A and B are shown apart, each in its own frame.
Chain A
Amino acid sequence: MANEPLPPFSSSVRLKYVKLGYQYLVNHILTFILIPIIVGISIELARVGPDEILSLLRFLNDLDLIYVMSTLFLVIIVGTVYFMSRPRPVYLVDYACFRPKPNFRVPFSTFLEHARLVPQFDERTVRFQVKILERSGLGEETCLPPANHYIPPTCSMAAARSEAELVIFSAIDELLNKTGMRPKNIDILIVNCSLFSPTPSLSAMIVNKYKLRSNILSFNLSGMGCSAGLISLDLARDLLQAHGNSNALVVSTEIITPNYYLGKERAMLLPNCLFRMGAAAVLLSNCRRERSRAKYRLTHVVRTHKGADDAAYRCVFQEQDSEGLTGINLSKDLMAIAGDALKSNITTMGPLVLPASEQLLFLFSLIARKVFKAKWKPYIPDFRLAFEHFCIHAGGRAVIDELQKNLQLSDQHVEASRMALHRFGNTSSSSLWYELNYIESKGRMKKGDRVWMIGFGSGFKCNSAVWKCLKTIKTPVDGPWSTSIHRYPVDVPAVVKVL
């Protein structure tokens, strides 16, 4: 067996039971060790009569008060130091996603008709966009902002600001309504929007609209790509460690209006076809009193940056094409780089979340390959043991397929991502929240469930966040899926013939 690759366990029933037994043994090793000890002590106590126990107690009484008090104080000091040095818990009180009005919807036929009517696109460009749209995994209900419905699109700064106001304010209004949070109680505000960065910033726009406090800690992250939502969460978490009893509002969005590419470079046309309108507002808190109504607790955030590698740095690159038009160039090896970034991320994430059984197996496999030079395939830990739900950034059909293959996930695990891509398109950093809402709307979120959010973005970055559900979410859920959840899941064909 030493020289063969590990046999596929799942195909053999007997081996499956062996694996299950192994997992129970390793994950509950402490229980297995404690039980014999408890049994031993009980037998000992039973054997020794009550007199011996009483004599033991009298011995304790004879001890000096000073010894007793010192022991007690030592215990108290150790306990205090332990509790004070633990990180503050970060609770997700609630979140709200922007619900696009269906009159902003872009059916495939309208998208292509506009592409043909706009004089800047030639026939080759239009045919390429048709091909992308057919294989994109998007549905007929994705929405573009009002400016993109004009022939030609009116990409002015005023239109971009009005889109920003529309999506951000409606998400925040819904969040404040749901949580009953007064704007004056928000201590930290973090906004991330990669491609639109006006002065004053979008965070200043929010402070102005909701009349937030003058000593608010506000941050605006721009240029950080589709994984910026998780970067904002990480920043919020760090700030909540530094400031106790605080509430943080994190807003993730992407403004589409100024970024419609009107040129002929094919690699830059993909964002036109895939990016859609969306935003999410999340309320985080470290106040103890929010624990009772919080939905999730943030357990880990792991960030991986592959920017040191030139290929990774240039794989999603905003530049001007030969005609001087600005667009985002997606390189052909995007999938390979994404896979690589994911591997780095899960190497760091693994020890934090995987149960001991998987970690031991991974360790043995690693030792065997590196030390004993055995020709085994690298052991891919089974992340399904660590998480109940997966939210994979809905960057495109290819990204979801690639991750499903890499992590060996079933169709049900990636269903939230695929359906969010179909219903809302690629809404960039807020897509993870639409997917989370899908899982909740389907009634699958139970207390104690763990959720893994994976985001990819330009740079090239792969960021993960792990949440633990604090209470079972009851359906029906009032959110962006309210009007359409009953129609999902749908079977998304590989190629949709454009009507």
Chain B
Amino acid sequence: MASKTLYSQRDPMLKRDGFEDILEERRNSSDLKYALRCYAPVLYKGVTPCKANMLKNIVLQSDQLHYVINQVSQESGEAPDIIQEEASVILEEMAHRLQISTVRFFAFALSKAFKTLFQHVCVNEEGIQRLQQAIQEHPVVLLPSHRSYMDFLLMSYILYTYDLALPVIAAGMDFMGMKFVGEMLRMSGAFFIRRSFGGDKLYWAVFSEYVKTMLRNGFAPIEFFLEGTRSRTCKSLTPKLGLLNIVIEPFFKGEVFDVNLVPVSISYERILEESLYARELLGVPKPKESTSGLLKARRILSEDYGSIHVYFGQPVSVRSLAQGKVNRSTYNLFPRHIPRKPMEETQSFVNDTAYRIVRLQEDNMVLKPWVLMASLLLQNLEGLELSVLTEQTVWLRGLALSYAAFLDWPDHAPTAKVVSSSLALHRGLACVSGGRVSLVVGEPLGPVTPEEALFNRAVSVLSCASYRNQVLHVFLRPAMLAVAMHTAASSKKSEWPGLYNCFSFLWDMFSNDFILCPGDIVQDFEEACYLLVKTGAVQMPQQDIVMTDIGQPTLSFFNGLLEPFLQGYQVVCRYLCEEASEGLTEKQYIPAVRSFAVKLILAGNLRCYEVLSSDMQKNALAALLRMDAVRKVKVADQVTLIVNKMAVNSIDDILGGKLPTQKALLARL
């Protein structure tokens, strides 16, 4: 594949690298030879590789762990050697056993699989070079986006291909359920952590010391997913901080000179789990990971999943990030081996860093034309003329490019061809009949109930939404401003302080659904204004933000883009005000909202299918909790939701544009 360079126009300094297709070579030379070739990666400052067993010993003998073992022993009355034994069992269960033979096996098997599944696997080689440099100089933490099970196999595969040190990967314990595969993954560098171990001091100590030891000794790059889990919606998830805290701490304590964080954006043209995710969001529980389940999934091998783009971002130096933000000498007066809750200054730094990394991941996500088409189709659920769709896609492409989207639009191909090949690849989601493009609704097998029909439709809407979601980070800020303009006044003119209030309300409301860095609200507002002005959609004479004559299509597209979220949140609010019973438990919440929404749709009072997504329901609840409109109360073993109906009602009104922000905010107080 010819290397392509895609430029960002938002920031002229932000030049993105070109890509190379690593499958091309695989198609032309022996996979076996490739799997058996000499593999001699450069290591951190030339350290001699340390055996997995030695690593375990270092961890078990560390002062850090000893301290906690003694502490636990004193608290529980158990003898220290019994606790020590426990620690060693935990470590055994957790630790990876990286073996080059297993890696070679994967290199061979994945080559075969990738060639069947994908057209291209593209990697920015300049990023690889930067990574190679970074690995030699500092401990490196790889932070890939997480959309698919493929992610970490793919990462290791790429690093093997480029002769880079293989990462050790933090994986969820659920993989361990797959007996054989679990062990295989372990031997390819995965280490397993329990999903929750909140109060377990010993577990936490073993785990954090294990990770830190690997980091300090430069054993291997450490890889984990900031998002914590695979995003079922293709929107980035708000970052989890636990592991990030662990890998950053050695820098604050002076145990390493610096830590480099490398954001990696993995973009799939089609995600293997696409319809699986939609079902999961609709409440069909996800199949438990099992080896036989994976084998059944072989069926997917016969399909075409387009290309993958993997972009290794610029390594981010924790040292430079922390400059002037965290005073490391505050760590001077406390023994370093005693675990301690991070200071406020540190916590907010880590939180901030996590958000910035996720945004960097977003920035370098490669978008395919289909993503734009999906965004348009979702605003026209009844279907669109193919010619109109083509025309609007071209328009949207221009808009996306001027907002610095990383768009992979084929060079020199006529637009019609681009559109039709996208439709062909995604024929499971959209079809053309009689010159009209519309969403495919899963074919009913025999007679169906109205609920089943609705469910089928929802699957295609949510699948389609997972593509639209990929472009949201590009449009989010101007779109929120567009909504604010729409909500604030039906007139063409509005003063910006009012708009800002409305914008910040939306910003706050949606901060679980989208990646909005804490504290960046003003900056985001300015960016929104700047982008809308830049594309000529609005003008800003002094205190006003005014829509221009040519601004209509942009602003209404943006309104349409966020419409499902506004509606979805409103449905949640309405449910809580109208239907929710006293003593609604947290567990009941999701099914209850779902059946409320189903009722509304069946009655023809609602056309928004996305509210059926448990993701949106959870985010809406989180927002309401954050805004104190809903409270959680723990009664016995149940968590009950207490609804402040007045507050929820006024939030509903603002979202519906019935109430100005200022008033609503007062009402909340």
A binds B: no
Q: Footprint of A on B, CB under 8 Å? A: none
Q: Footprint of B on A, CB under 8 Å? A: none
